[in-house]
Amino acid sequence: MRKFKFYSTSLLILSVLFISLASCKKCKIEGENVDAGEIITDVAIYPDHGYITQDMSGDYHVHAGSLIADKFDMSTDNGFTRSAFNYTNYSILAYPMTLNCNHFLSREVNIDHDNSTATYKITVTQCKDADCSQQRYIENFVVVPAIPDTYTILHDIQTIEQ
């Protein structure tokens, strides 16, 4: 009788464990990063160091008058040659985020010259329960046509968790 209880209990525990593991749904995000609107994808940005957004004091619009303007290089040939960032023609927008390792982004910038604003919209799609133990710090640098430093930069951030 004692042997039967042991096997019954063991079988019950194994069954519960198997069912819980079998019902565990691993999240797989299908999609790719998309840049739209005024974002210029032909220009690559190279900051001097990582986590440079921490030096920006919440002002994520880099223009010629920015304190950190000299900390960026650019390339128009996929990184083969780099030069100082051209703030006459371009500006940099950023918005740092900490995300799960399994994610994709949809980023869009729209400039409203009538109202002197630019809206940087980011939609993040990521797993609710991350499949990884580490998160990623993403600075979300994008190049846009030159935006005057007097413009207000608005951020529209949405997160979709699956």
pLDDT at 25 over 60: no
pLDDT at 19 over 60: no
Arithmetic mean of pLDDT, 108-112: 98
**Nearest 5°: phi and psi at 71?**
-95, 15
Q: Quick check: 155 and 68 in contact, CB under 8 A? A: no
Question: Strand pairing partners for 67?
Answer: none
DSSP 92: E
**Is 16 in a helix, a strand, or coil?**
helix
**Nearest 5°: phi and psi at 84?**
-60, 145
Q: Give percent above pLDDT 90 in the chain.
A: 65
pLDDT at 22 over 50: no
pLDDT of residue 16: 41
* Residue 79, C-beta contacts closer than 8 angstroms, at least 6 positions apart: 44, 46
pLDDT of residue 20: 39
pLDDT at 6 over 60: no
Question: Strand pairing partners for 36?
Answer: 108
Q: Quick check: 89 and 143 in contact, CB under 8 A? A: no
